[in-house]
């Protein structure tokens, strides 16, 4: 330990010297006796408040018991006493990072690397945090775009929603949510073929995307296609067994095909899953009307 302060004995520790008490604290720490190590370090600091090694060890102990807030405070205190020790900046980074302070952790690592530019551990950790920060920022930006597009969709601003999703897809061409929502906006504008292409790309990017199968079935039905529609609804239901909207629209599709027994099966299931759905009630009303017409004709 580098300290020019006189070394009075540590009270309550059988009159240990500062060096002996610190060595014992390190032994306790290595044996994972963190409470005992903390007690010795605290006793040392009471006698020698600016003992950097002991402050640093207290910070490392705090890390081990997940007190990163306290660890940050202790490492910063040690750095204020001597900012030329690379390990102090590194230790600070290792508590800032799990606290969610990524930018501050990167700054601490850069400070450590300025002192020890060839330290591979410091460089690797900095690269790891930088990559995670970049990924998190990218994911956050993507989610913001998705949220913005969703709001535009809900308010019926189709052109604005299309522009929003296309700008996201320029950066993430295979983003399944952006593809599916772009398809929804295109469908709403009557651009069925473009919408179908988007849904198919979304499914290719994420085969278990139930909503993309559902939207694709809706668009094909609106376009007047017949054969693949039911299969896409059924795929959506297989992927998401409680998908009330898919049951409802599949039932409505069978009403249009005059397959009333199947329509009744799927619409009853839809009503069980979502009793207050207006669309299901509309399809059910159409089913009852067709049944009545058949009975009247007989």
Q: Tell me: the pLDDT tens digits for 18-50?
A: 888 999 999 999 999 999 999 999 999 999 999
Number of domains the chain is built from: 2
Q: What is the pLDDT of residue 73?
A: 95
Residue 28 to residues 19, 24, 57, 185: CA-CA distances in angstroms?
Answer: 14, 6, 11, 64
Band (pLDDT 50/70/90 cuts) for residue 5 is very low
Which of 61, 91, 116 finishes a domain? 116
Per the CB < 8 A criterion, the answer to whether 112 and 124 are in contact is no
Band (pLDDT 50/70/90 cuts) for residue 227 is confident
Does the structure show a pLDDT above 70 at 2? no
92 inside domain: yes
Token pair for 224: 């007047």
Which residue matches tokens 């306290």? 70
130 inside domain: no
**CATH number of the domain bearing residue 48:** 1.25.40.10
Q: What is the pLDDT of residue 274?
A: 94
DSSP for 225-279, written as a single string: --HHHHHHHHHHHHH-TT-HHHHHHHHHHHHHTT-HHHHHHHHHHHHHH-TT-HH
263 inside domain: yes
Provide CB contacts within 8 A for 161, sequence distance 6+: 149, 152, 153, 181, 182, 185
Does the structure show a pLDDT above 50 at 199? yes
Band (pLDDT 50/70/90 cuts) for residue 133 is low
Torsions phi, psi of 10, nearest 5? -85, 115
156 inside domain: no
Per the CB < 8 A criterion, the answer to whether 162 and 186 are in contact is yes
Which domain range does residue 37 map to?
Answer: 18-116
Does the structure show a pLDDT above 90 at 139? no
pTM of the model: 0.56
Band (pLDDT 50/70/90 cuts) for residue 134 is low
Q: Tell me: the pLDDT tens digits for 152-194?
A: 888 889 999 999 989 889 888 999 999 999 999 999 999 999 9
94 inside domain: yes
Band (pLDDT 50/70/90 cuts) for residue 7 is low
Torsions phi, psi of 192, nearest 5? -65, -45
Does the structure show a pLDDT above 90 at 140? no
Mean of the per-residue pLDDT values of the chain: 88
Q: Tell me: the pLDDT tens digits for 269-288?
A: 999 999 999 999 999 999 99
Nearest-angstrom CA–CA distance, 59 and 72:
7
Q: Which range is least confidently modeled, 21-30, 68-77, 121-130?
A: 121-130
101 inside domain: yes
- Rounded average pLDDT over 226-255: 95
Does the structure show a pLDDT above 60 at 228? yes
Which of 99, 116, 133 finishes a domain? 116
Band (pLDDT 50/70/90 cuts) for residue 255 is very high
142 inside domain: no
Alpha helices in the chain (DSSP H): 18-30, 34-47, 52-64, 68-81, 86-96, 102-115, 120-154, 158-171, 176-188, 192-205, 210-223, 227-239, 244-256, 260-273, 278-297
Nearest-angstrom CA–CA distance, 298 and 289:
14
Residue 10, SS3? Answer: strand
Which of 64, 94, 116 finishes a domain? 116
Nearest-angstrom CA–CA distance, 174 and 197:
13
133 inside domain: no
């Amino acid at each position: 330990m580098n300290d020019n302060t006189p070394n009075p004995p540590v009270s309550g520790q059988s009159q240990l010297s500062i060096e002996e008490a610190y060595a014992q604290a390190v032994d306790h720490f290595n044996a994972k006796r963190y409470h005992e190590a903390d007690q010795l370090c605290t006793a040392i600091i009471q006698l020698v408040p600016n003992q950097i090694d002991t402050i640093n060890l207290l910070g490392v102990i705090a890390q081990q018991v997940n007190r990163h807030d306290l660890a940050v405070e202790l490492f910063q205190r040690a750095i204020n006493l001597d900012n030329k020790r690379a390990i102090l900046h590194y230790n600070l980074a290792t508590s800032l990072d799990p606290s969610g302070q990524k930018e501050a952790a990167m700054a601490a690592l850069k400070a450590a690397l300025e002192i020890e530019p060839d330290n591979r551990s410091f460089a690797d950790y900095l690269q790891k945090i930088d990559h995670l920060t970049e990924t998190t920022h990218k994911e956050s930006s993507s989610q913001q775009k998705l949220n913005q597009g969703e709001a535009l969709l809900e308010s019926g601003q189709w052109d604005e929603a299309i522009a929003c999703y296309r700008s996201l897809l320029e950066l993430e061409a295979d983003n399944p949510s952006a593809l599916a929502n772009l398809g929804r906006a295109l469908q709403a504008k009557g651009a069925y073929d473009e919408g179908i292409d988007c849904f198919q790309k979304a499914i290719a990017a994420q085969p278990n995307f139930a909503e993309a199968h559902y939207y694709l079935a809706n668009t094909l039905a609106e376009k007047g296609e017949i054969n693949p529609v039911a299969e896409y609804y059924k795929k959506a239901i297989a992927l998401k067994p409680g998908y009330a909207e898919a049951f409802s629209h599949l039932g409505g599709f069978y009403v249009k095909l005059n397959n009333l027994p199947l329509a009744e099966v799927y619409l009853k299931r839809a009503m069980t899953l979502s009793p207050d759905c207006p669309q299901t009630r509309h399809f059910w009303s159409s089913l009852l009307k067709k049944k009545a017409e058949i009975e009247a004709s007989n």
